[in-house]
Chain A
Amino acid sequence: MNYDALIEYISSTPLIWLLVTMGSFKIGIIIYEKFNKHTLLQPIIISYILIMSILVLSGASYEEYFKGVEIIHFFLGPATVALALPLYNNLKHIKTLFLPIVITLIVAGVFSILIAVLFLWALDAQLPTILSMTTKSITAPIAVITSEQIGAIPSLAVGFVLIAGIIGALLGTAIFKIMRIKHDTSKGFALGVVSHGIGTARAIEISQKAGAFSALAMGLTGILTAVFLPLVIQFLR
């Protein structure tokens, strides 16, 4: 038996990293569902840890890993286009509260970026970190392609997106109680603007209406940020 040839094959085929990535994500889904879909046990967090351990143990570089799984990365493009459908399905809700939605979207969208940047700036963070923070409230696929566009670090950006989502989903209900928020539509909308998909999953648990408004807010915030953020950043440079 030719063990050398086998080892040579395993260490050079992209199949191994595809299997590791998809397998880890499947394990992530299984664990997530076993624990009643707890926010902290997002499938991606579990697969993050699994893949990270395997990467470190195998001694492979990130470049090697990325080359192997580039085909998965490619599908972020069509997945972003796919986000048009849930947005379309919830678009009818815009009419009922047109002005509140438009005003909140613009004012709160800008505010949530500014407040995050302000904290970083006050605590002496560097420019790449600040740029990577600007996309923290939009859905991850759009955050990845937008952060590439503005010269931020996509991996940091995704990390920030995930944590902003988890914090919103974990603390949202408590915050709404303290702030005495009356309407489910406001709760859902805020979760969508600030905590994208993970917030929307939480909003669906509040009520169907909150879920619809969250999905609506997530789609609109994603588009507006991707359109205007690169322009603003180019203007400031």
Chain B
Amino acid sequence: MLKGIITLLFFQFIGECIAKLFDLLVPGPVIGMVLLLIFLIIRKASFPSLDNAVSIHLKYLPMLFIPAAMGIVTQIDIISKEFWAITASLVLGTIIALAFCAKLMDYLTIKQESKK
């Protein structure tokens, strides 16, 4: 699995370097993700060591953002002051976006099928 972990860290490193060198606003790890995607497309397949490294990272993915998430204890002020705005935005915003997105995709799919 070491080769896979090195691959992930290497692509992250290259991504961060590119972001710094060209003053990009895109986060370095996302550039690394795109580069790894391009690498896989060119190589036409993954390899077992990378599969294992990826699966262990993604299996415990939610645990990795707990440190950032716990910062919520310092934001109680904002949350209590803007509770209703946040609730409306999250609940209604998500419902409307979900309905809109599914309907749009469905409409475009049906249109493409009828053309054939």
Chain A residues with a Cβ under 8 A of chain B:
21-22, 25, 42-44, 47-48, 51-52, 55-56, 62, 65-66, 69-70, 72-73, 75-89, 91, 97, 99-101, 103-104, 107-108, 111-112, 115-117, 119-120, 123-126, 128-129, 133, 136-137, 140-142, 144-146, 148-149, 153-156, 158-160, 162-164, 167-168, 171-172, 175-176, 178-179, 181-183, 185-187, 189-191, 193-195, 197, 222-223, 226-227, 230-231, 234
Which chain A residues border B46 with CB–CB below 8 Å?
85, 88-89
Given contacts A76-B65, A80-B33, A226-B26, contact A183 B108 (CB under 8 A): no
A42 to B65, CA, bound (A): 13
Other than the given A66-B71, A78-B57, A100-B111, 18 more pairs (CB < 8 A) read A48-B66, A72-B63, A72-B64, A75-B64, A81-B15, A84-B40, A85-B51, A101-B105, A104-B105, A108-B100, A119-B89, A123-B88, A136-B94, A142-B27, A142-B30, A146-B27, A190-B102, A194-B94
A117 to B26, CA, bound (A): 21
Given contacts A82-B8, A189-B101, contact A97 B109 (CB under 8 A): yes
With CB as the reference atom, state the residue of chain B lying closest to A233. B25
Q: Is the CB of B62 within 8 A of A223?
A: no
Instruction: Say yes or no: is B1 at the interface (Cβ < 8 Å to chain A).
Output: no
Instruction: Say yes or no: is B96 at the interface (Cβ < 8 Å to chain A).
Output: yes
With CB as the reference atom, state the residue of chain B lying closest to A160. B90
Q: Is the CB of A103 within 8 A of B109?
A: no
A126 to B82, CA, bound (A): 8
A62 to B108, CA, bound (A): 48
Provide a sorted-by-A list of 26 A–B residue pairs whose CB atoms are within 8 angstroms: A21-B63, A22-B63, A44-B63, A73-B64, A82-B57, A82-B58, A84-B33, A89-B46, A91-B41, A99-B108, A100-B109, A111-B97, A112-B94, A119-B88, A129-B85, A133-B90, A145-B29, A146-B27, A153-B71, A158-B65, A158-B68, A164-B90, A186-B102, A186-B105, A191-B98, A194-B94
CB distance from B59 to the nearest CB of A (A): 10
Picked from A77, A86, A103, A190, the residue with its CB within 8 Å of the CB of B98 is A190
Picked from A47, A81, A181, the residue with its CB within 8 Å of the CB of B103 is A181
Q: Is the CB of B97 within 8 A of A194?
A: yes
With CB as the reference atom, state the residue of chain A lying closest to B66. A21
CB distance from A204 to the nearest CB of B (A): 14
Given contacts A48-B66, A85-B54, A123-B88, contact A155 B93 (CB under 8 A): no
Picked from B29, B78, B89, B93, the residue with its CB within 8 Å of the CB of A81 is B29
Which residues of B in the span 27-75 have a Cβ within 8 Å of any Cβ on A? 27-30, 32-34, 36-37, 40-41, 46, 50-51, 53-54, 57-58, 60-75
